Amino acid sequence: MSDTSKSATLTIDGESYDLPILTPTCGPDVVDIRKLYSQAGVFTYDPGFTSTASCDSSITFIDGDKGELLHRGYPIEQLAEKSHYLEVCYLLLYGELPSAADLEKFEATITRHTMIHEQMHNFFRGFRRDAHPMATMVGVVGAMSAFYHDSTDIGDERQREVASHRLIAKMPTIAAMAYKYSIGQPFVYPRNDLDYAANFLHMCFAVPAEEYEVDPILARAMDRIFTLHADHEQNASTSTVRLASSSGANPFACIAAGIACLWGPAHGGANQACLEMLKEIGSPDNIPEYIARAKDKNDPFRLMGFGHRVYKNFDPRATVMKQSADEVLDLMGVENNPILATAKELEKAALADEYFAEKKLFPNVDFYSGIILEAMGFPTSMFTPIFALSRTVGWISQWKEQLADPQMKIGRPRQLYEGSGPRDYVDIENR
C-alpha cells in the first residue's frame, strides 16, 4: 500500500473533509476513512462489505472481472498445473516458493504432526453417529486448544508456527475421523509414507480388514481440490477468523469459528447443496423445469454451484477443476450414475441459456468439486469438511499476517441503528 497525492473530498452540511486515497499493488484505489468518525462524526454504511476493505494483506489477490486469482502473485492456474498443495501451503504461509530443501523440511514437519492425541478419539465417540461431520469438526478443532497448550500463546512466534503446522497436518485426520465415525467404521491412522492427499483418501476409504491402494489419478484430483480451495482473500470465513483473532483468541478457537462460518450454503456449503440439488433434479429430462424455476423471480430456487459474489465473468478455479472433473469422470464412468449425467447436462444447458449468460452466472468451483467428490465416493456431507481442511492454510496464513500487523485492532463494526429511541421502562402491570 502506498500513499498517493490523491484524495477524496466529502462534503457534509457545507463542511469539507479530505480523505486520503491509498493505492494497492493490484486492484482499485481505497479511500481511507479511518479518521472519518473522529473528524466528521459520521459512520459509513456498507452491509455485506461490498465496498469495504477490512484489512491490508499481501497473501491473495482476486480480480473478479478478469477472473484472476493470485497467491503471493502467482496465478492459480500455474499453481494448479505445476505445484501441489503442500508447496502452495508453504507459499501462502511464508510468502515465497520454497527451495527444494525447505520444501522437504516443511513436508517432513507436516507429516510428523498428522496424528491427533489419542485421548481426542473420545470426543468423536461422544457425538451421535448421525452428526454432520462439520458439527463434529467445529467441536473437535475448538477442543484442540484444550490439548495443545504449548501452541496457544499467540504472542510467541514459535508457538504460532507450531499451531500452524499442527492445524494443517491434523485437519485431514480430523475430517477423515469425522467421516469414519459417521459410517460406523474404525478410525484409520495416518500413513506417513503417503503424500498429503493420498493419505487423506486412505484414511477415508481404507479399512483395517484389507489392503487399499490409492489411485494416483484420484490422489492428484484430491490434491487439486485442496490447492484450488487453499485461500480466497477476505471471504466470509476468513473474515470470521480475523475477527475472532482480533480479540486475541487462540488459533484453534479462531479456526473453529472459520469452520462454523464456512458451513453455510452460500459459502462452503454450496458444494453439498449443489449435489443435493442434482439429486433432486434426478435426471437430465427434468433440467428445463429447474432452469425455469431458477429464472422465476417468484421462486426462491437458485441453481446451486452457479454464480459468485466476486467472479463476474468466470471462476478461474472452476476452469482447472473442470479438467480434473473430466479426468475423474472418465476413470469412474458416468453412464451408470444419473447424478453425474444430470450434472454434465445441466452445465451445458445453463451455459447455453440467455438468462445465465446475461447475469454472468457460470458454474463455480464448487459445482465441479462436488461432482468429483461424488464420483470418488464421498457422501455429500463430507464435501464441506473437505473444503474446510483445504481452506485451513488460508485461514492460518491470514491469521499469522494479522497478528504480525502493528496496526492490528480489535474488529468492531458500527451500525445504522433503526430501533426505538430512548423510552421509559413500563411496569409489567401497565403493559
Q: Which residues are catalytic?
A: 308, 366
Least Cα distance to 106 among 82, 85, 84, 90 occurs for 90
In whole angstroms, give the CA distance from residue 371 to residue 304.
12
The verdict on 340 binding ligand CMC (CB under 6 A) reads no
Q: Which stretch binds ligand CMC (CB under 6 A): 114-122, 145-153, 261-269, 336-344?
A: 261-269
Q: How far is the CB of 310 from ligand CMC (least distance, A)?
A: 8
Residue among 132 and 166 whose Cβ is closer to ligand CMC? 132
- In one-letter notation, the amino acid at residue 353 is D
Residue among 115 and 351 whose Cβ is closer to ligand CMC? 351
Q: Which stretch binds ligand CMC (CB under 6 A): 67-75, 177-185, 251-259, 266-274?
A: 266-274
Q: How far is the CB of 188 from ligand CMC (least distance, A)?
A: 29
Q: Which stretch binds ligand CMC (CB under 6 A): 75-83, 115-123, 240-248, 260-268?
A: 260-268
The verdict on 34 binding ligand CMC (CB under 6 A) reads no
The verdict on 270 binding ligand CMC (CB under 6 A) reads yes
Residues of this chain, 274-313, that bind ligand CMC according to CB under 6 A: 294, 302-309
Residue among 47 and 422 whose Cβ is closer to ligand CMC? 47
Q: How many residues bind ligand CMC (CB under 6 A)?
A: 19
In whole angstroms, give the CA distance from residue 84 to residue 353.
35
The verdict on 386 binding ligand CMC (CB under 6 A) reads no
The verdict on 231 binding ligand CMC (CB under 6 A) reads no
Q: How far is the CB of 277 from ligand CMC (least distance, A)?
A: 9
Residue among 3 and 280 whose Cβ is closer to ligand CMC? 280
Q: How far is the CB of 171 from ligand CMC (least distance, A)?
A: 18
Question: What does the binding site for ligand CMC look like in residue numbers (CB under 6 A)?
Answer: 232, 235, 266-268, 270, 294, 302-309, 359, 361, 364, 366
